[in-house]
A and B are shown apart, each in its own frame.
Chain A
C-alpha cells in the first residue's frame, strides 16, 4: 500500500510538502534558503524586499520570551536588485524542487507594484504582499489594516505580475474576514495568515522600552492560538474562497495540523528555526505521516478545514 501523500497545491503551485519557510527568517541568502529545503522545507519565502536597500532598525531589534520572540528588524533588505544573486543561487541549488515566493513591500501602492514587477523578473514562483509588518512606519501595516487600501494594492500588484499573488494578513485588526475579503476583491490568488502581533517590552531598571523601535511584532508559540483563530474565521466565513497559508507559532506536527484543520492548505514556519532548528521541517513531516497512517488519511488536502465546531 502507498503511504500518505504530503504534497499540496496552493494557488496552482505544487509543493512537495506543506511546510514553507516564513518570510524574514533565515533567508538573507540563497544558500540559507537552499539549506532550509535540504532540511525538508517544501518551499521558501524571501525576506521582504523593497526597490531600494534598507538597513532596518538599529539594535536591539529582538527580545526573547519563554513563549516567543518580539522582533523589530525593520525590514532590512538589500533591495530587489541586490537580492537577485540570492534568488539565482537558490534556484540553481534547489533545481525546482521547492518553489520560492518573493515577499515585497513599499511605501506606496506604486512602490509595491514596482517591487513586485522587479521580483517577477528574478524567476520566483509567486509574490507575497507584505501588508502586515508592524515594524516600519509608513510601510506595511497601515496598508494592511484598511480594506479599501488592500483591495487597491492587490489590484495594482496583480496588474503588474502574471504569477500568483498572495496577500499576508495582520492579526491586529477588528475583523480578519473583512481584510481577507478585500484581498479577494482585489484579485489575490491566496492569503497568508498571520504576520506578527504588535507588542512591546519595557525594562524596569532603566524604565525604557528595550526595542529601539519601541514596538515590535510577537511571533512564536504565543501567537499560535491567534493565528489558528484567524485562519478558522476566514475559512468558515462563507465569504472568502481563497486558499490560505497558515502561519504563527508552528513548531510541531500538531501545530501544523491545527492550522490545516482550521482551513490552511499549507503552513509557514519562522520562529521555530531559532537556534538553527531547521530539523523542525523533517520532524513535522514525520509526525504528520505517522498521524495520517494512524487516522487512515491519504492526502493533506483531505484534512484542510476539517475542524468544525458545534456552532462554527
Chain B
C-alpha cells in the first residue's frame, strides 16, 4: 500500500501513560479517507514543531469516531517531546508510508503468531487485532526488558487465543527472551500446523535475528518490521538504505525471503551521514 502524503496538522486528543517511559498519543485526522486504508505495520512521519520529525508506527486505529494513535517510548529528544504532549497541542503527520503486514489467505494459514519485543508491540498490536478480526487464531508472545516496558497487557489478552509474556529480568512472565517462548511454541506444533502458521514480528533487531533463525529452522513463514534512520520517508534520500533496499518504502515490513537477501539485517545500520555502523552500536 502506498499513498503520497502531504503533511496534515492534527490536534492531540489525549495522551495515555502506558508506563513510566511509554505513552500513547491519540489524535483524529480530518482527511479520514487517506488514513482509513492504512495497513497495520505502515508508519507515519510525525512532526513535533520545533523539535524533530520521526517515524512512528500506528498502534491504534478506530472508526466512528475516527481515531488514530501511536505508542512512544521516551528514549531521546523527539520521543520525550511526544510523550510530553498535551491535549490540544498540534502535531503534523505524513503518511501512511511503506508496506505493512500482509495477512495471508485463510485457505493457506489459520494461525498468526505475533512476536513483539519492547515498543515493537506498537506495530504488531494493530496487525494482530486485524488478524483476529479476520478470524485467524492468534498467539501473542510479548517480551520486554522489564515489567515497566511490557505494554498493552489487557489489550493483548483480549485479542489472543493464547498470550505469553517474558521479561529479561523475570519481573513479569517468563524470565528470558521472547525468542525462547517462540521456540517452545514451535516445538509443540506438528509440521502441518507449522505450515499453516505465519509469524508477525517487530522489536529490537537482535531479537528478530533470533526469530528468523527459529523460523528457518522450523520451516515457518514470517514477516519482519525493520527500523532504519529515516529522513524523507518517501524513497528519495536513501538514508534508510539497507543492502540496496529503502526500508521506508520497500519495508518497513519485509517477508522472510526478502529479509534473507538483506545482508545488512542483523549486521549494520547507517548513521545520519550514511556511514555504515555495526548493529550493536545502534541497538538501544
Please give the residue numbers on chain A whose beta carbons come within 8 Å of chain B beta carbons, in ascending order.
Answer: 24-29, 31-32, 34-35, 47, 53-56, 58-66, 69, 71, 73, 76-79, 82-83, 203, 205-206, 208, 210, 270-271, 273-277
Contact = CB atoms under 8 A, between A and B. Distances in A.
Contact of A54 (B9, B246, B273): B273
Interface in B260-284: 270-275
B119 interface: no
- Across chains A and B, which 4 residue pairs bring their CB atoms closest together, nearest first? A31-B244, A28-B238, A59-B53, A60-B53
Contacts of B250: 276
A77 B209 CA distance: 29
Contacts, number: 128
Contact of B47 (A55, A78, A210, A273): A210
A32 B246 contact: yes
Contacts of A63: 7
Interface in B1-27: 2, 4-7, 9
Interface in B47-106: 47, 49-50, 52-54, 90, 92, 94
Contact of B273 (A35, A53, A208): A53
A13 B270 CA distance: 32
Contacts of A66: 6
B7 A31 contact: no
A47 B231 CA distance: 15
A71 B273 contact: no
B274 A78 contact: yes
A58 B284 CA distance: 20
A275 B234 contact: yes
B237 interface: yes
Given A55-B271, A61-B232, A29 B49 contact: no
B158 to A, nearest CB: 36
A59 B274 CA distance: 15
A29 B187 CA distance: 40
Contacts of B275: 53, 78, 82
Given A82-B273, A82-B274, A62 B47 contact: no
Given A64-B5, A65-B6, A78-B275, A203 B233 contact: no
Given A55-B273, A61-B231, A275-B235, 8 more contacts: A27-B238, A32-B246, A55-B272, A56-B231, A59-B53, A270-B236, A274-B236, A275-B249
Contacts of B244: 29, 31-32, 34-35
Contacts of B5: 64
Contacts of B274: 28-29, 47, 53, 76-78, 82-83
Give the one of A34, A63, A271 with max B CB within 10 A: A63
Given A26-B236, A76-B274, A203-B92, A59 B231 contact: yes
Contacts of B239: 28, 76
Contacts of A271: 236
B2 A275 contact: yes
A274 B235 CA distance: 5
Given A62-B231, A206-B49, A32 B241 contact: yes
B243 interface: yes
A62 B237 contact: yes
7 contacts: A47-B238, A54-B273, A65-B6, A76-B274, A210-B7, A274-B235, A274-B236
Contacts of B249: 275-276
Given A203-B49, A208-B49, A29 B273 contact: no
A273 B249 CA distance: 11
A73 B237 contact: yes
Contact of A32 (B4, B94, B238): B238
A58 B238 contact: no
B171 to A, nearest CB: 35
A34 B7 CA distance: 32
Contacts of B232: 61-62, 71, 73
A38 to B, nearest CB: 10
Given A56-B273, A77-B273, A276-B249, A25 B7 contact: no
Contacts of A56: 231, 272-273
A5 B18 CA distance: 63
A32 B240 CA distance: 11
A76 B272 contact: yes
A238 to B, nearest CB: 37
Give the one of A60, A73, A277 with max B CB within 10 A: A60
Interface string B142-183: 000000000000000000000000000000000000000000
A27 B45 CA distance: 21
Nearest to B78: A59
